[in-house]
Structure 1
């Protein structure tokens, strides 16, 4: 099975800038009349989808897209070598910190949000990470 990650953004150039400067991904290509940006550099490509605020996410949805901070149980975790360096880089690119680094048996984690209201975490492994299962 192939996994693709899609992230809605209201400003594609700003999204590309954040994911390049803040997370170290690179623009691989633009698709569909420059409405989608393929960002690579991790194990799975991330596609930034230009979607205007106020648009409906599906034909059956009662809600509208809103790029203020929103909570969802689905978010992205980025494994980094140095948590403080990753946080600083993301903040300079427009992220907001939500929880400073916390310690766990498996490592350290910080919680942030991107400029489009999407939550993300930075993880710095300790030892074998999540119970020795590192891929």
Structure 2
């Protein structure tokens, strides 16, 4: 199975800039008449999709896209080598910190949101990472 990650943004240029500066991803190409940006640099490609605020996410949806901070049960975790440096880089690029680093048996984690309201976690592994979890 192949996994693709799609992230809606209301400003494609701003999205490209954020994910390049905050996470070190690189724009590989634009697709679909320049409305989609393929970002590479992780283990899975991330596609930024230009979707205007107020547009409907599906033809059957009554809700509208809103790029203020929103909670969703799905979010992205980015494994980083140095948590503090990753946080600083993301904040400089426009992220907001939501929870400062917390320590766990498997490592450290901080939660942030991108400029489009999507939740992100940064994880710095300790030892075997999740392999150290026994239950």
TM-score of the aligned structures, taking structure 2 as reference length = 0.97
Q: State whether residues 105 and 132 of structure 2, in contact with CA within 8 Å, keep that contact through their aligned partners in structure 1.
A: no
In the alignment, what sits opposite 1:37?
A: 37
Deviations along 1:35-81, one digit per CA (max 9) or x if unpaired, are 00000000000000000000000011110000000000100000000
In the alignment, what sits opposite 2:81?
A: 81
In the alignment, what sits opposite 1:9?
A: 9
Higher helix share: 2
In the TM superposition, 1:57-68 aligns within 5 A as 57-68=57-68
Q: Deviation of residue 131 (structure 1)?
A: 2.0
In the alignment, what sits opposite 1:121?
A: 121
In the alignment, what sits opposite 2:54?
A: 54
Q: Give yes or no for the alignment of 1:91 onto 2:91.
A: yes
Aligned partners of 2:91, 2:24: CA distance in 1, in Å?
13
Q: Deviation of residue 108 (structure 1)?
A: 0.1
Number of residues of Structure 1 aligned to a counterpart in Structure 2 = 133
Q: Deviation of residue 99 (structure 1)?
A: 0.1
Q: Give yes or no for the alignment of 1:130 onto 2:134.
A: no
Unaligned runs of 5+ in 1: none
Aligned partners of 1:36, 1:43: CA distance in 2, in Å?
19
